[in-house]
Amino acid sequence: MKKIIAAIVLAGAALIATPAAANAAGYVPTSNVTVTGSTIAGGTTIINFGPGSFVGNETVNITVTGAGAVTLGALPTTSVSKAYTASATGAVSPRVTLPAGASGTYTLTATGVTSGNIGTAAITATPAAGAAAVGASGGTGSLAFTGGTISALALWVGGGAVVLGGGLLVVRGTVRRQRDGQIAA
């Protein structure tokens, strides 16, 4: 009886531990995504999700996030969402207007409501000709030094080594005390 209960528990654990990736939504292949138009600050970019990207005539929620305000349709904000309707072939082509002072990378994510398909596109904004960099004052000299160039991974590895070394010292001290106690006894 105990073996049967153990087998049932193991089978249940195996079902619960099934990877979530097996149930993940579909993704739009990058070959179906094209970016056209202007990526210059203040320009309008069109992201084309080709036929078959989504189910025909389904609602596709488009979200754009980035460093500065962006306009999707007529809504300027740092993160904006708007619903579009895919064509009969499953294609959708939202227009994104970058802000006048845009710089950096903006990410557009399209999610099909019916299919669950997810497509992404990156838009790297280039400053308009003659535009000053954000924070530029026209003075001479360099920018203030605001931090180091050490990567976060290097910091984690170094911190882990320090913690590991401290643990080794504690263990060694404990072993030494026990050994000294045994010798004295």
pTM above 0.85?
Answer: no
56 near 88, Cβ under 8 Å?
yes
* Average pLDDT along the chain: 77
Domain ranges of the chain: 23-125, 152-180
State yes or no: pLDDT of 24 exceeds 60: no
**Distance between CA atoms of 75 and 121, rounded to whole angstroms?**
19
CB 119 within 8 A of CB 109: yes
In terms of Cα–Cα distance, which of 64, 63, 53, 32 is closest to 115? 53
Per-residue pLDDT tens for 31-47? 889 998 878 888 888 99
pLDDT of residue 3: 75
pLDDT of residue 54: 93
CATH topology of domain 23-125: Immunoglobulin-like (2.60.40)
Buried b (16+ CB within 10 A) or exposed e, 4-37: eeeeeeeeeeeeeeeeeeeeeeeebeeebbeeeb
CB atoms within 10 A of CB 90: 22
The model's pLDDT over 80-130, given as tens digits with 9 standing for 90+, comes to: 788 999 999 999 999 988 777 777 888 899 999 999 999 999 888 887 765
